[in-house]
């Protein structure tokens, strides 16, 4: 994985500082985005200032910011960056610039639907503001408020998901999680880790086994670090140890996040999630997915229609700069896999819990939360023909 920093470094802090935001906006509409560079954790804590659309696209692409909800917030902030220093503030030009920025950002990564959801929301808000007769300057301020709302709503959703999920965690439970779906992946306290934090707040004793999550070690570098820093008892294991700890009766439940959930309840998440779900089913262990409504993509009928990002071979052959495989060996490096809905015990959202998810239950959840599952999506990221 490349860990060069093609942006301005604002500051570096020691490991003992906990009050770092994953993503934030500094100042007014004329300001800029600030990201915690997650490629450098846990050894270095570096905050980056992102001042243009291309820099935001590259930050998303190289995983400086990652996690589906955080990517959505980053996309919204990226649209705002397109308006910095704009000379022509006619409404038509402002909306055109917004559309162009959205098209650029949509190319950053193909799988996490929150990226496209946020871009669609920003473009739709710009077009609605123009239709309302707002000036170009007013459209910019409207979009600034919209981006802030996306970040704020994500933080609120994390709290609600945490509260729902905590009810499924018994005092003294031992849980397993894969990849990182905590505060580092959102604008709040996380998705899969939110129930753990809320259970701990309520005084429950919780122990977590964290898969290291190859090849980029998000579980080792991010989840183990985040949980330990927040006082959660955590044990790190390699991915191929998950079956062993389940077989030994150590695991009471699995909690994971999601990057996209299809209309039928199939869940796309970090590579290796399907293996964990299969193991959990074999050992009669509940497998819970925690994700906000913005991660559902009802335009994709089943998991086979979700585009799966394939990343560079050197993430596998020479991760973090050290070669561990022979030169020239062929590599297959999908970043995500799909867990069939039949392996999911429940999906926990900010609007409630969907047990044994299928298309009817997913659509009922969305409609009950005021989401039109059949509304068109301009940047859905679907595979052709699905």
pLDDT digit string (tens) for 248-267? 999 999 999 999 999 999 99
Same domain (yes/no): 182, 150: no
- Domain stop point among 142, 159, 176: 159
Total structural domains in the chain?
2
259 catalytic residue (yes or no): yes
- pLDDT for position 327: 95
Residue 46 is encoded by which pair of tokens? 């570096």
Is residue 370 pLDDT above 60, yes or no?
A: yes
List the domain range (segments joined by +) for residue 87.
8-159
pLDDT-based confidence at 11, cuts 50/70/90? Answer: very low
Query: Helices marked H in 167-236 — which ranges?
Result: 194-201, 218, 224-229
Size of the chain, expressed as the number of residues it contains = 386
pLDDT-based confidence at 20, cuts 50/70/90? Answer: low
**pLDDT tens-digit profile of 209-230?**
999 999 999 999 999 999 999 9
Is residue 37 pLDDT above 50, yes or no?
A: yes
Do 82 and 101 form a contact (C-beta atoms < 8 A)? yes
Same domain (yes/no): 275, 126: no
Assess if residue 296 is contained within a domain.
yes
Query: Helices marked H in the chain — which ranges?
Result: 53-61, 68-81, 91-105, 113-131, 136-166, 194-201, 218, 224-229, 242-247, 273-282, 314-317, 359-368
Q: Which of 211, 259, 266, 337 is catalytic?
A: 259
Same domain (yes/no): 153, 165: no
Same domain (yes/no): 208, 332: yes
Same domain (yes/no): 248, 354: yes
Same domain (yes/no): 293, 326: yes
Same domain (yes/no): 303, 363: yes
Same domain (yes/no): 178, 137: no
Same domain (yes/no): 48, 95: yes
Q: What's the CATH code of the domain at 149?
A: 1.20.120.420
Same domain (yes/no): 151, 244: no
β-sheet with 267-270: strand ranges across: 296-297, 260-262, 267-270, 336-339
Assess if residue 380 is contained within a domain.
no
Assess if residue 384 is contained within a domain.
no
Q: Return the axis-axis angle of helices 68-81 and 113-131, rounded to nearest 10°.
A: 40
Same domain (yes/no): 139, 12: yes
Residue 125 is encoded by which pair of tokens? 């808000």
Q: What's the CATH code of the domain at 244?
A: 3.40.50.10470
Same domain (yes/no): 310, 170: yes
- Distance CA(325)–CA(319), nearest Å, equals 10
Residue 351 is encoded by which pair of tokens? 């609007």
């Amino acid at each position: 994985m490349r860990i060069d920093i093609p942006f301005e470094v604002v500051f570096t802090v020691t490991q003992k500082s906990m009050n770092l935001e994953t993503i934030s906006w500094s100042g007014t509409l004329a300001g800029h985005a600030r990201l915690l560079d997650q490629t450098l954790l846990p050894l270095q804590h570096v905050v980056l200032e992102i001042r243009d659309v291309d820099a935001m696209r590259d930050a998303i692409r190289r995983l400086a910011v990652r996690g589906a909800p955080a990517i959505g917030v980053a996309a919204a902030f990226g649209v705002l960056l397109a308006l910095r220093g704009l000379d022509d503030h006619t409404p038509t030009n402002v909306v055109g610039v917004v559309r162009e920025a959205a098209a650029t950002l949509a190319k950053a990564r193909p799988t996490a639907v929150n990226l496209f959801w946020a871009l669609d929301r920003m473009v739709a808000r710009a077009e609605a503001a123009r239709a309302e007769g707002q000036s170009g300057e007013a459209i910019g301020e409207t979009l600034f408020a919209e981006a802030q709302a996306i970040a704020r709503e994500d933080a609120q959703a994390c709290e609600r998901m945490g509260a729902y999920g905590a009810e499924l965690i018994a005092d003294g439970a031992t849980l397993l999680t894969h990849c990182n779906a905590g505060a580092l992946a959102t604008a709040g306290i996380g998705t899969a880790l939110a129930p753990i934090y809320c259970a701990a707040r309520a005084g429950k004793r919780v122990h977590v086994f964290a898969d290291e999550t190859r090849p980029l070690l998000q579980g080792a570098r991010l989840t183990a670090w985040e949980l330990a820093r927040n006082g959660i008892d955590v044990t790190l294991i390699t991915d191929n140890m998950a079956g062993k700890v389940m077989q030994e009766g150590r695991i009471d439940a699995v909690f994971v996040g999601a990057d996209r959930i299809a209309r039928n309840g199939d869940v796309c998440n970090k590579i290796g999630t399907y293996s964990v779900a299969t193991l959990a089913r074999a050992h009669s262990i509940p497998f819970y997915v925690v994700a906000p409504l913005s991660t559902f993509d009802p335009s994709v009928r089943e998991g086979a229609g979700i585009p799966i990002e394939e990343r560079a071979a050197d993430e596998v052959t020479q991760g973090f700069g050290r070669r561990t495989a022979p030169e020239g060996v062929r590599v297959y490096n999908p970043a995500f896999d799909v867990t069939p809905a039949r392996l999911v015990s429940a999906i926990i959202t900010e609007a409630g819990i969907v047990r044994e998810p299928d298309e009817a239950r997913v659509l009922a959840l969305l409609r009950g939360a005021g989401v039109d599952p059949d509304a068109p999506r301009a940047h859905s990221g679907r595979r052709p023909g699905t």
